[in-house]
Amino acid sequence: GLGLQTERLGRFIHFEESVDSTQKIAHKLAYDGMKEGTIVVAEEQISGRGRLDRKWHSPKYTGIWMSVLLRPNLPPPKAPQLTLIAAVAIVQAIEEVTRLQPNIKWPNDILLNGKKIVGILTEMQAEADKINSVIIGIGINVNQQLEHFPEELQTIASSLLIESGKTYTRAKLIQVILAKLEKLYDQYLQHGFLPIKLLWESYALSIGKQIVARTITGSIKGVAKGITDDGVLMLEDKDGKTHYIHSADIEMEKK
Ligand code: BT5
């Protein structure tokens, strides 16, 4: 067992040795009416995915490939906040278990020493103006050596093992992540996003820095000012105009 300290999250665990994507299974379980807190965990993903149909490298036995089903009673525009809540929970869990201090790169990356160790993919099903289900996909590089990564990832990705020289028990990490996530999620449902937004900003890398936001319609340069109460990134360009970025890849500008 995982020794869970949660009331709802992870009370039902769907475990598989090898899957296409834990997201796919979680969507099916959501459709079948499974309860909030159901999680899907796999040892390996053959077609793990990122945003915009990008691939997520998910080799066997070395990482955490997990999807969490939530059913918040909220309108669809609130769903992106759940990505930020998950990011805070994961940072807190990694800090507690490893004593490393990761940072968040808006919206969905967690980095150590500038390299990506975690990716989060939030997908939503809504009916009319109400969320039916949100699937939070979490990928964490735990015990990979550098040579486990494909060459194109070796300069941009890392793992907890590479950064600390230690291996970690994935079940322990999952247990702590679910405990932190449940606590923050309950706090969010009771008190709203503001307290979590402040926490999120304390871990964020790009706030106050010059960045480039690549959106599907083009790139915008400016200074990241922070996030709105809905979790939207605020970017101020050189003319002092504020842009509200809902979805993008962020690059820190090199001086
Ligand atoms: C993400 O997308 O970062 C979201 C990744 C979510 C993965 C989880 S695992 C469990 C669940 N099931 C799934 O199928 N997915 C979720 P994005 O921001 O689009 O970043 C994707 C990019 O990250 C790729 O194009 C690569 O450049 C890079 N990448 C791929 N695999 C990586 C890895 N293992 N570690 C670090 N970077 C990686």
Q: Read off the pLDDT of residues 139-163 as tens digits, 9 standing for 90 and up.
A: 999 999 999 999 999 999 999 999 9
Query: Strand locations in the chain, DSSP E?
Result: 13-19, 39-45, 63-70, 103-105, 109-112, 115-127, 130-141, 210-215, 218-227, 233-236, 242-245, 249-252
Q: How far apart are CA 179 and CA 185, in angstroms?
A: 10
CATH number of 13-203: 3.30.930.10
**For 138, phi and psi rounded to 5 degrees?**
-125, 125
Domain ranges of the chain: 13-203, 210-252
At 27, is the secondary structure helix, strand, or coil?
A: helix
Atom 25 (ligand 1): residue with closest C-alpha? 54
What's the gap in Å between 49 CA and the centre of ligand 1? 6
Mean pLDDT on 162-169: 98
Better pLDDT: 1 or 145: 145
Q: How far apart are CA 201 and CA 117, in angstroms?
A: 19
Q: How far apart are CA 241 and CA 113, in angstroms?
A: 31
ipTM: 0.99
pTM of the model: 0.95
C-beta of 122 in contact with ligand 1 (< 6 A): no
Query: Is the pLDDT reported for residue 196 higher than 60?
Result: yes
Q: Read off the pLDDT of residues 34-63 as tens digits, 9 standing for 90 and up.
A: 999 999 999 999 999 999 889 999 999 999
Atom 9 (ligand 1): residue with closest C-alpha? 139
> 234: pLDDT confidence band, cut at 50, 70 and 90?
very high
State residue 253's pLDDT score: 73
Q: How far apart are CA 6 and CA 24, in angstroms?
A: 24
What mean pLDDT value characterizes the chain? 94
C-beta of 56 in contact with ligand 1 (< 6 A): yes
Q: Name the one residue in this structure whose structure tokens are 């194109």.
A: 152
Mean pLDDT on 203-209: 90
User: What CATH fold (topology level) applies to the domain 210-252?
Assistant: SH3 type barrels. (2.30.30)
